Amino acid sequence: MRVRAVRGATQLEEDSVDEMRLAVVDLLTTLFQENEISTDDLVSILFTATPDIHSDFPAAAARTLDLGSIPLICAQEIDVAAALPRVVRVLVHAYSNRSHGEIKHIYRRGAAALRKDIAQ
């Protein structure tokens, strides 16, 4: 098995704790299912959030998925004019037998506009 990086993003409808939880859990659940990643496969997860998100940390939402033993970290995206608002991005590092080309990067909700070439 090799360590692979899996990208993804989601857009919150509003900046609230409940919406953060719904969006992040949906993103991670889909990403794990589509790439057949279990908790034991995970190495670490890096989250970024656009500067307009203040309600909660994406990692706090992720911990509701029983990821307490996985290293999680949050950072702020750079503030680019006209960028899509309320976006949480994720970079998951996990062990996988898949090749780079077999990895499914997941873009949900409004964030699908960020990568129309690979969005679900």
Active site residue 21: no
Catalytic site residue from 7, 34, 95, 98: 7
Which secondary structure element, helix H or strand E, spans residue 33, and what is its range?
helix 17-34
Active site residue 102: no
Active site residue 89: yes
Active site residue 108: no
Active site residue 77: yes
Active site residue 86: no
Catalytic site residue from 4, 19, 86, 107: 107
Q: Which two tokens stand for residue 101?
A: 């080309």
| Calpha distance 55→14 (Å, rounded) | 10
Q: Which two tokens stand for residue 80?
A: 């680019």
Could you list the active site residues?
Answer: 7, 63, 74, 77, 89, 107, 115
